[in-house]
Amino acid sequence: MSLSFGFSSLCDDFSVDMYINTKFDLPSSRDTLLGFFDRIRKQYPSMASLVRDNASEYCLEEDRQAGANRWVSLDVDRVGVGVLNPLNFEEVFELDRFVIGLVPYMLGVTGLDIESLDVTFGLDFECRGNHNEIIAEAMFAGSPFAEFFDISGPGPVNLSPTVVTALDDACSTKVRITVDSKTEDSEIRTKKYDKDKPISLYLTVRQCPQVGKVFDLAESFENQCRIITDLMDEKIVSNFVMPLTNAIAHRR
């Protein structure tokens, strides 16, 4: 992997998330859950806070107030792993690999049980003003959409473009990119914009099982990591990140 680990200079927050989506419900007994989370805590002592976010989801995490933190969550049919602002490249995928090694033995997850595996890079960009205008300038300038946005009025609202493309003929490997505006209609009406809400860019590589093949979780994860890092270096930074940061800079 040739990831240029300089995202801290390009965005305000950088996250790496992995989700193992299962066909069957995961174990929910108290002993199984505590055993799983305690094994992670022993490996990562700073992950010492266990919270229950809703009726079915539990999350073991580091201090949420810290600028960098890690978390692992369990829901009915999903295992999640996340790292916010990793300090070095070694930290980016380390926790994911550790959890992948645990789930077959501690949660009974096998290749037959995998619905899909998602690996996501998230980049947050702090900015002032209307997110929709910034995204329109960065992503749609010179396109037919720009003419549509030029209709009399305040301009685009709820502009969060998403594109999904397949990487193989079976459509089992897909890449999704989303640029997410968080500006609300009320902010456009009052011209008072929340400067604490960032524009977010999400790049996700999803792998689903192929017909006639048993899903190898560890092997698929390594392949998805290679794909997502190559995409970031070769396409996303130059064609998405830089236009966004330039459009944001124009408003400062």
CA 87 – CA 19 distance, rounded (Å): 21
pLDDT-derived band of residue 189, with 50, 70 and 90 as boundaries? confident
Q: What are 5's two structure tokens?
A: 């680990």
In a domain, 1, yes or no: no
Residue that wins the pLDDT comparison between 188 and 60 = 60
Q: Tell me the H-state helices in the chain.
A: 30-43, 89-106, 131-140, 144-149, 185-190, 217-231, 242-249
176 vs 57, 122, 211, 235, CA distance in Å? Answer: 25, 12, 22, 13
Looking at residue 66, what is its pLDDT? Answer: 78
- Across 58-182, the runs of DSSP E, i.e. the strands, are 58-61, 69-75, 78-84, 114-125, 162-166, 173-180
Average pLDDT, the chain: 91
In a domain, 47, yes or no: yes
In a domain, 2, yes or no: no
173, 202, 161: which is closest to 16 by C-alpha? 202
Looking at residue 224, what is its pLDDT? Answer: 97
Half-sphere exposure at residue 150, Cβ-oriented, CA atoms within 13 angstroms: 9
Looking at residue 105, what is its pLDDT? Answer: 95
Domain assignment of residue 233, given as a range: 7-249
In a domain, 18, yes or no: yes
Question: Worst-scoring range by mean pLDDT, 60-64, 85-89, 133-137, 241-245?
Answer: 85-89
b/e burial code for range 112-123 (CB count within 10 A of at least 16 → b): ebbebbbbbbbb
pLDDT-derived band of residue 65, with 50, 70 and 90 as boundaries? confident
CA 128 – CA 196 distance, rounded (Å): 8
Looking at residue 6, what is its pLDDT? Answer: 60
Residue that wins the pLDDT comparison between 153 and 177 = 177
**pLDDT of 181 strictly over 90:** yes
pLDDT tens figures, 103-113: 999 999 999 99
CA 97 – CA 76 distance, rounded (Å): 21
251, 111, 119: which is closest to 195 by C-alpha? 251
Domain containing 143 — which CATH number? 3.30.160.110
pLDDT tens figures, 1-17: 444 456 667 899 999 99
Domain total of the chain = 1
Model's pTM, two decimal places?
A: 0.93
Percent of the chain with pLDDT over 90: 71
Residue that wins the pLDDT comparison between 63 and 90 = 63
pLDDT tens figures, 17-52: 999 999 999 999 999 999 999 999 999 999 999 999
